[in-house]
């Protein structure tokens, strides 16, 4: 049985992430999305909010689950009996840091392999940061994130207009 983890900040989950989740869940038996609790960064959404948003979008995917983790990705893989780490590659700019992370992880835990999925072209430019920037200025993010995430972004940046609705 092949079990994989897909680690990341997912602050918040985008259609780019969802594309990687759907595609990778087809090539493994089980996929566990790992939402990283990074104490050095102040996230826009709490861990619970990020987990809830992901739970909603993976409802139709029976072999996908989500949980949070702290610490090293390879430890999260070990705890879940997973020997594959899924990562997405958008552009060459991702390549250098992703290669470094993958090589570090492999030297710490040789049993764990990193599997890369190249982004679907329509999501190549998409990142959680870009989505938040557009949402902050009131732009339309419906093509970038699932509906529930769009609503969460509106609530976060325009709480008063939500109350008026």
Examine residue 20 and tell whether it contacts ligand ADP (CB under 6 A): yes
| Choice among 9, 24, 128, 132 that is catalytic | 128
Counting contacts by CB under 6 A, is residue 9 touching ligand ADP?
Answer: yes
- Annotated catalytic residue within 41, 143, 147, 155: 41
Give the residue among 91, 96, 113, 121 at the shortest CA–CA distance from 19.
121
CB of 79 to ligand ADP, least distance (A): 18
Task: Select 89 or 158, whichever has its Cβ closest to ligand ADP.
Answer: 89
Close Cβ partners of 21 (under 8 Å, ≥ 6 residues apart): 6, 31, 33, 58, 61, 64
CA distance 34 to 5: 6
76 binds ligand ADP (CB under 6 A): no
Element (DSSP H or E) covering residue 88: strand 84-89
* Catalytic residue (choose from 90, 106, 154, 156): 90
Structure tokens at 134: 């557009």
Sign of CA dihedral 97, 46, 127, 68: positive
Q: Is 128 a catalytic residue?
A: yes
114 near ligand ADP, rule: CB under 6 A: no
User: Dihedral, CA atoms, 50, 55, 60, 66, nearest 10 degrees?
Assistant: 90
With CB under 6 A as the contact rule, the residue among 4, 18, 51, 126 that binds ligand ADP is 126
The yes-or-no answer on residue 90 being catalytic is yes
Binding site for ligand ADP (CB under 6 A): 8-10, 14, 16-17, 20, 87-88, 90, 94, 119, 123, 126-128
């Amino acid at each position: 049985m092949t079990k994989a983890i897909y680690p990341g900040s997912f602050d918040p989950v985008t259609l780019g992430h969802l594309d990687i989740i759907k595609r990778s869940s087809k090539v493994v038996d089980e996929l566990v999305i790992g939402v990283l609790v990074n104490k050095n960064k102040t996230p826009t959404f709490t861990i619970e909010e990020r987990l809830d948003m992901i739970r909603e979008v993976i409802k139709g995917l029976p072999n996908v689950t989500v949980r949070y983790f702290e610490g090293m990705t390879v430890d999260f893989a070990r705890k879940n009996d997973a020997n594959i780490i899924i990562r997405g590659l958008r552009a060459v700019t991702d390549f250098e840091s992703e290669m470094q992370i993958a090589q570090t992880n492999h030297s710490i835990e040789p049993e764990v392999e990193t599997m890369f999925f190249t982004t679907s072209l329509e999501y190549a430019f998409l990142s959680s940061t870009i989505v938040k920037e557009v949402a902050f200025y009131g732009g339309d993010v419906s093509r970038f994130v699932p509906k529930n995430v769009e609503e969460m972004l509106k609530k976060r940046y325009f709480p008063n207009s939500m109350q008026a609705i």
